[in-house]
Structure 1
């Protein structure tokens, strides 16, 4: 496979059973083959996307000392600002050439989870920043819910199997700024080759070159979405839960050609996480004689903590 398949969520929510089934088959096949799709028909409108990018660019344009006020120690970068070069891919020493922000869950009616998750950080200088971030978070979460419903049907589970695990889940919206490159990067790239930790990732801002996905032959292929599409991929939690039936594909963001070093790049992924208590034990339906169980039992919270240590965001 040398391209990313495109699907339309409108088919799934159309009320037409044939269209719905076609969507389930298309997205299921894509996630078994390459682990990525480009999705039309999501719940983000153009005006909201434009507002979000405007606010995000304003934030990253603030002076460094202002941004660093919002870098909160002791929470593994789970909310607020993470400065340039702090995060590295699993197994890499070099920090990625990026800075980013984290919006987290807006918990409803659950004091236990409210106490568990760090609080969202409010940017005083930009009155619209947090409002727009929250609205985008909600629309991406809604889109992700329907994608997971389609995948539940593909896996022969009850359609709403994931709903209770993702309601109030520990999901993250991450606006990323890849600043202009000012000198020859030694080993560092904008985002080194990695798999995502979570269930699924919804990415805004994959319209330009940069994002690459490794296909089954081990070749890097460009993952470029149309302006009205989100790029959505399987994360390690979902891959593990399905015994690798659905593929968490290695991907990277490469440095641009030298003539474009002077330009910034922005992208905004939404990492759909379940609640920490969700068991990621391999589904019985994904185990057979040809595919024996590959993973030990673990909860989503335990798995996340392991990975944050590997990424250097939490110290042991």
Structure 2
């Protein structure tokens, strides 16, 4: 049985997707319990090579090592709310709290409409390889989610057209001097359907379930971390959990250099896809917990709430 464990998150073996009928049934059961109880799990046998992950981390680090004037050539704007930024306040999307930017910087690419920096020269080729691998993995996970929802395996296929809203985000958390605990990414839930995370071994990611303390969420060697976002919670009528999380630098951390990197693949549907309760998750005679909403409207409203200073500095709304 998959339950929340203070030492580790539930672990799913994606090889079981192509296993026996009994193997698949076990995988669906573990996934369902994980999604209902935790909203986070780790996956092994995910099919993304360690070399691809390593090279993408490397090219990301080289990008963030550039002078800010170079990185700002591909800055985030209201017309293209992706690109480079270092003024996001993630907690603004949750409850409007927070006035100081999270101490991190990100480079965001809309996968169906990428815009590339001039440097490093190999950036485009390496990142495209990573995104293609992530998409292959995402479709496996969506197939699993459809089975957990008791829908046909292709339930999500038409909800993710070629021109979808999926975003690849690379993050850099600069070194923080020794001292008290410090928030590096303020508390939030993700906005989309599912998130696939690769993170280094510096640590700091934490999750919080109702009535519990913040708990560390590490990723075992050879695994990736997966969590669902708000849209998936809405589709399941709150049956699945879009879990609160944050990134911190702990006072007890002993690294001489606690610079942290992570890479996040936010799997989002087509902009006109309606996010509404799946009928099987709505009790007879009861209304759904959420009104139907277009994916683009929901995601961008959340996203824009986190970057007011960026838009204000450019005279944009």
CA displacement 1:226-284 (0-9 Å, x = unmatched): 12111100100100111111100000101233644742100001100000111111111
Counterparts of 1:239 and 1:162, CA distance in 2: 15
Larger deviation, residues 187-196 vs 126-135:
187-196
Q: Is the 8 A contact 1:68 1:81 kept in 2?
A: yes
TM-score (norm 2): 0.88
Per the alignment, residue 295 of structure 2 pairs with 300
Given that 2:87 and 2:307 are in contact with CA atoms closer than 8 Å, whether structure 1 keeps it comes out as: no
Q: Could you tell me which residue of structure 1 aligns to residue 166 of structure 2?
A: 171
What is the alpha-carbon distance in structure 1 between the residues aligned to residue 47 and residue 265 of structure 2? 13
Q: Conserved in 1, the CA contact under 8 Å of 2:202 and 2:258?
A: no
Aligned match for 2:84, one of 65, 81, 85: 81
State whether residues 208 and 224 of structure 1, in contact with CA within 8 Å, keep that contact through their aligned partners in structure 2: no
Aligned to 1:266: 261
Within 5 A, what are the aligned runs for 1:93-112? Answer: 93-106=99-112
Task: Tell me by how many angstroms 1:72 deviates.
Answer: 4.1
Matched position secondary structure for 2:106: strand
Task: Please tell me whether residue 151 in structure 1 is matched to residue 145 in structure 2.
Answer: yes
Cα pair distance change 1:256/1:76, threshold 3 Å: farther
- Cα distance in 1 between the residues matched to 2:74 and 2:147: 41
- Helix, strand or coil: the match of 1:244? coil
Q: Distance in 1 between matches of 2:258 and 2:178?
A: 13
In 2: Cα distance, 1:150 partner to 1:225 partner: 20
Counterpart CA distance in 1 for 2:89 and 2:72 is 15
Alpha carbons of 1:123 and 1:306: their partners in 2 closer, same or farther (altered >3 Å)? closer
Does the alignment pair 1:20 with 2:24? Answer: yes
Paired residue for 1:126?
120
The unaligned stretches of length 5 or more in structure 1 are 107-118
Q: 1:216 to 1:73 in 2, by over 3 A?
A: closer
Task: Give the Cα–Cα distance (whole angstroms) in 2 for the partners of residues 26 and 73 of structure 1.
Answer: 41
**Residues of 2 paired with 1:207 and 1:285: CA distance?**
40
Structure 1 distance, partners of 2:292, 2:182, is 34
The residue number in structure 2 matching 1:253 is: 247
- Per the TM alignment, residue 184 of structure 1 is displaced from its structure 2 partner at its CA by 6.6
1:142 paired to 2:139: no
TM-score (ref. length: structure 1)? 0.88
Match of 2:217 in 1: 223
What is the CA–CA distance in structure 1 between the aligned matches of 2:286 and 2:116, rounded to whole Å?
Answer: 47
Residue 219 of structure 1 aligns to a residue in which SS? coil
- Residue 225 of structure 1 deviates from its aligned partner by 1.0
Aligned length: 300
Q: Which runs of 5+ in 2 are unaligned?
A: none
Corresponding residue number in structure 1 for 2:188: 194
Q: Distance in 2 between matches of 1:306 and 1:123?
A: 26
The structure with the greater share of residues assigned to strand is 2
Please give the root-mean-square deviation of Cα atoms over the aligned residues, in Å.
Answer: 2.2
Is residue 188–residue 246 contact of structure 2 (8 Å, CA) maintained in 1? yes
Give the 3 Å change call, closer, same or farther, for CA 88–153 of structure 1 in structure 2: closer
Q: Counterparts of 2:174 and 2:74 in 1: how far apart (Å)?
A: 19
Shift of the alpha carbon at 1:189?
A: 1.6
Partner of 2:16: 11
